[in-house]
Chains A and B, each alone.
Chain A
């Protein structure tokens, strides 16, 4: 496991500059507090690269600096130091932004517009001429299942519908790079599945996806590479498989009845007669089962586990992901 971000160790793949879609070097940003008193460092010395065709996850607890990083990526915030390059251009250059699509977290939209007017507006901002818009806007509405809602004002649509509409706005013009801020927050499992499928579709089509999230399970399922931020600093960057082993790491066993004292295992929890314990390998597993049966207890279930990002978090950061940093 690499402690510090860096390029993957062996199998040296010479990074082809043409392939790097997003390059961040030494990025730093601090905000001054109210009335100029105090200073909060949001991002401190960030290096990262996103390559063409991959799904990249920017992960970390709330307040880690993910949103600020994303905003610097889009040119909404100017960094204090370091640089951001999209397709080799700074985000302030409209040509760079012409090649990306963006969906913010909890998007607020112009609720006075109808769904069709909404998509038409962003299509115009992308320089799509009128005749093309006439065709593409209805098609985009159809694709996200809002074909019959073209004339409905946004404030009358449900959250799920506006989310779909927002996604249509972000990817409707088929950008090379799609940037999503917490795309799955606030969605039910069906909605999250839909978003995941969309992102995978994008990769199939050769597009690059960059998203931020504090829900690690979602990231685990689809990311090629991740970067983990904590308190503005980069903790890990690399391919997911390098960070998290795919091998079975330990077993979780549920036992009912007495727990034999001499078997090396870690107790996870206990509820009356039911114990949940952890054993490190197959050998110890066998001994545990044997010992429990001999003691007259029952092994209810055996669950092989591999380390997840969440485990990694808990272990390294000492706290569950999603919980922001307490007072220093």
Chain B
């Protein structure tokens, strides 16, 4: 008969780091990551070829294609990996053992998010580095594109949070559809506002206004046109935009935590 070891509840950050690290390892060992990354690098390289077809504006084309590739492939990676993240744990029942430990469900959600976001940051960094090398060889200044890349990272965080939310609610295919819907909506929010302006004041107009403010406005994190043309952004726009994205992400993660809190793992 011996005295049992002291029972410890880990501090929240320790649980989040553990789960995040686990998720990072899982994502890194997922082949689809490399598929998309290679694709992206090929596209960035191909932009050099594409620029041969143009009259002037070679650099504009390389920058446009490079930045758009980072965004599109980033979102695809976030989507593909995010939608199966929680679902796989539930399917494979690894979540049972995990939650039998002294961790809370919101820590689980946050940890998964942190892990996936780390992979995405790595991804984006690699793609940006490739683009930067290509531009630097041509005598361009790649650092000027940094704000666009940074805000793209914030956009990816928002999309990942949504993917995680849907992954907690349904199977990966439906979750992917919903995530894609959010992405499309996020880039069309501006038209909702335009629609609202054309309507007479009333319920419909009010709904449009409400939707405009509630839905995630992903175009706020799109400054690609500005950085490519060298147009200065308003002072502090970068910070405010990033804050908007980060805050929205937190809200969505909170929703995901709520969804998981109420879930019965039958």
Contacts and interface: CB of A to CB of B under 8 A. Distances in A.
Is there direct touching of A and B in the complex, by C-beta distance under 8 Å? yes
Interface stretch (B96-104, B122-130, B213-221): B96-104
A318 interface: no
Given A68-B266, A104-B93, A176-B4, A76 B100 contact: yes
Contacts of A128: 8
A271 to B, nearest CB: 45
A289 interface: no
Nearest to A78: B264
B9 A95 contact: yes
B231 interface: no
Nearest to A172: B5
Nearest to A124: B18
Interface stretch (B22-30, B66-74, B150-158, B234-242): B22-30
A33 B28 CA distance: 38
Interface string B1-18: 110110111110011011
Contact of A174 (B5, B9, B96, B265): B5
A173 B99 CA distance: 16
B22 A121 contact: yes
A124 B10 contact: yes
A98 B99 contact: no
Contacts of A156: none
A242 to B, nearest CB: 25
Contact of B94 (A76, A109, A175): A109
A89 B104 CA distance: 15
A127 B2 CA distance: 21
Contacts of B2: 205-206
Contact of A126 (B4, B10, B17, B29): B10
Contact of A125 (B10, B26, B29, B266): B10
Nearest to B28: A112
A166 to B, nearest CB: 8
A76 B264 contact: yes
Given A113-B22, A121-B18, A104 B97 contact: yes
B102 A94 contact: yes
Interface residues of A, number: 42
Interface string A244-271: 0000000000000000000000000000
Nearest to A109: B94
B229 interface: no
B100 A127 contact: no
Nearest to A74: B100
Looking at A74, A76, A206, which has the most chain B CB atoms within 10 Å of its CB? A76
B92 interface: yes
Contacts of B18: 121, 124-125
A77 B265 CA distance: 6
Interface in A42-56: none
Contacts of B29: 112
A70 to B, nearest CB: 10
Interface in A89-138: 94-95, 97-100, 102-104, 107-110, 112-113, 117, 121-122, 124-128
Contact of A97 (B26, B101, B264): B101
B147 to A, nearest CB: 35
Given A108-B92, A169-B97, A175-B5, 7 more contacts: A75-B99, A77-B265, A98-B7, A110-B22, A112-B26, A125-B10, A127-B14
24 contacts: A31-B266, A74-B99, A77-B264, A97-B101, A98-B7, A98-B9, A102-B100, A103-B97, A104-B93, A107-B93, A108-B93, A110-B26, A110-B94, A112-B30, A113-B26, A121-B18, A125-B19, A127-B10, A127-B11, A166-B97, A175-B7, A176-B7, A204-B1, A207-B4
Interface of A: 31, 68, 71, 74-78, 94-95, 97-100, 102-104, 107-110, 112-113, 117, 121-122, 124-128, 166, 169, 173-176, 179, 204-207
